[in-house]
């Protein structure tokens, strides 16, 4: 078992990217249109799929990730897609150092439940400050995480399987939670068939900080953000703390007073 960022190839094959982007794209594009967004930083870009899609949709998009292997995979994916995008190796707590004091993005994405991979609450707070630093005044940060309050309250152990077809073979991914006192281990278990028909299983594991919506929003406010909206993921419905499985939090960097 190991953390996600050490297995970029496996991670890239776990999700039905075409289906996922078709679901997430309309929401993000409506959100960005309403906020006047043209430039976007995906600060936990993984293998670059969102950066590539954003570039194809006409945005000036770039990505960063803590893992050099993820960035290497993102560059390869972008090259294969014919997309010229800027990818940099950087933690989401070090965006200001990676992009410099002149950075002024219209939007920063931190999605895919990435922010709760931070090892401490102080790191989450530092990530919010870094996102605030690289945004222009009036820019927005879009953070997507599980509704950890609900996960904890329900003692959730497993989520529905994700099944994708890759090169004619079915790949099944299960998301399994092991609850501890202050963290929850999230295991991504993938099962597929090798060319000779044998079952192949891989497990990727990372500790998640189960930060509830109010705590997450409080850390954003402490970094200087104004909360703009809470959504039930990408379906356009308002967030329901008792029923929503996921939270999409939109926070805005205030503009200077006139």
Q: Look at strands 226-231 and 199-208 and give their pairing.
A: unpaired
pLDDT digits 0-9 by tens, 175-203 = 899 999 889 998 888 888 777 778 888 88
Confidence of residue 257 (pLDDT cuts 50, 70, 90): low
pLDDT digits 0-9 by tens, 34-58 = 999 999 999 999 999 999 999 999 9
What mean pLDDT is predicted for residues 224-245?
95
Tokens standing for 193? 């068939």
215: left (phi over 0), alpha (psi -120 to 50) or beta: alpha
First to last CA, the chain: 53
What mean pLDDT is predicted for residues 126-151?
96
Confidence of residue 10 (pLDDT cuts 50, 70, 90): low
Quick one: pLDDT at residue 5?
A: 46
% of the chain at pLDDT higher than 90: 66
- 116: which residues sit within 8 A by CB, 6+ positions away? 124, 145, 146, 148, 208, 209, 210, 211
With both helix axes pointing from N to C terminus, report the angle between 17-35 and 49-56 in degrees, rounded to the nearest 10: 60
Quick one: pLDDT at residue 175?
A: 86
Confidence of residue 2 (pLDDT cuts 50, 70, 90): very low
Length of the chain: 258
Confidence of residue 7 (pLDDT cuts 50, 70, 90): low
Tokens standing for 12? 């890239």
Other CB atoms within 10 Å distance of the CB of residue 9: 9
What is the rounded CA–CA span in Å between residue 71 and residue 93? 17
Tokens standing for 213? 């919506």
Q: Which residues of 175-203 are buried (b: 16+ CB within 10 A; e: fewer)?
A: bebeeeeeebebebbbebeeeeeeeeebe
Higher pLDDT, 7 or 172: 172
Which range, of 20-24, 86-90, 236-240, averages the lowest pLDDT? Answer: 20-24
What is the DSSP secondary-structure string of 44-77?
Answer: T-TTSHHHHHHHHTT-EEEEEES-HHHHHHHHHH
What is the rounded CA–CA span in Å between residue 14 and residue 2? 15
pLDDT digits 0-9 by tens, 81-136 = 999 999 999 999 999 999 987 789 999 999 989 999 998 999 999 999 999 999 99
Quick one: pLDDT at residue 14?
A: 67
Percentages helix, strand, coil for the chain (3-state, rounded to 5) are 35, 35, 30
Quick one: pLDDT at residue 129?
A: 96
Higher pLDDT, 198 or 238: 238
Quick one: pLDDT at residue 134?
A: 97
pLDDT digits 0-9 by tens, 160-169 = 888 877 677 7
């Amino acid at each position: 078992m190991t953390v996600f960022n050490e297995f970029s190839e496996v991670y890239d094959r776990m999700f039905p990217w075409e289906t996922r982007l078709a679901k997430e794209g309309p929401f993000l594009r409506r959100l960005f249109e309403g906020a006047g967004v043209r430039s976007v930083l995906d600060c936990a870009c993984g293998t670059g799929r969102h950066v590539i899609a954003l570039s194809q949709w006409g945005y000036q998009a770039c990505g960063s990730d803590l893992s050099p292997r993820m960035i290497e995979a993102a560059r390869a994916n972008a090259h294969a897609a014919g997309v010229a995008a800027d990818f940099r190796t950087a933690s989401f707590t070090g965006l200001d150092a990676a992009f410099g004091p002149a950075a002024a993005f219209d939007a920063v994405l931190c999605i895919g439940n990435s922010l709760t991979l931070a090892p401490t609450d102080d790191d989450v707070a530092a990530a919010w400050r870094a996102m605030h630093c690289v945004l222009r005044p009036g820019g927005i940060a879009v953070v997507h995480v599980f509704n950890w309050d609900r996960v904890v309250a329900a003692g959730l152990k497993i989520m529905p399987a994700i099944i994708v077809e890759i090169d004619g073979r079915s790949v099944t991914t299960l998301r399994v939670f092991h609850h501890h006192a202050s963290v929850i281990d999230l295991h991504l278990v993938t099962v597929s068939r090798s060319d000779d028909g044998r079952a192949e299983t891989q497990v990727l594991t990372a500790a998640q900080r189960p930060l509830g919506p109010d705590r997450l929003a409080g850390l954003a406010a402490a970094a200087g953000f104004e909360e703009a909206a809470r959504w039930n993921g990408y379906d356009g419905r308002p967030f329901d703390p008792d029923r929503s499985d996921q939270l999409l939090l939109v926070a805005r960097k205030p503009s200077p007073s006139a």
